[in-house]
Amino acid sequence: MELKDFLVWLASGGGGIIAASWLLERWAWFQAKTAEIKELILWGSSAFLAVGSYALVNYLPEASLAMIAPYFYIVSGIFVTVVIGKLFHKVDKTE
């Protein structure tokens, strides 16, 4: 997936919610909030990701996206590797 494709995915309603939820669920301060506050934080962060991604795709020059792309590939490669490593260790556990 290319950077622009990822940004378009984030700008879709589902992409922003998935990314915000995945990030927020890993923070203890978020877990300590009430359900109503969690929902408001999720709404706000999802909207921020979606609108921000939309703005980047539509208003950032292609040259700037091209300059950022290598860093996106590095970070996304690390993310995929960590997720695969966690899955491997979960499946391959020896007791």
Q: What is the pLDDT of residues 71-80, one digit of tens each?
A: 999 999 999 9
What tens digit of pLDDT does each residue of 23-73 get? Answer: 999 999 999 999 999 999 999 999 999 999 999 999 999 999 999 999 999
The pTM score is: 0.79
* Residue 33 contacts residue 41 (beta carbons within 8 Å): yes
Q: Residue 46: how many CB atoms within 10 A of its CB?
A: 21
Predicted local confidence at residue 90, as pLDDT: 84
Q: Which amino acid is at 55?
A: A
* Residue 28 contacts residue 37 (beta carbons within 8 Å): no
Hey, where are the domains in the chain? 3-91
Both tokens of 12, joined, read 């879709």
Q: Give the separation between CA 32 and CA 9, rounded to whole angstroms.
A: 29
Q: Which amino acid is at 16?
A: G
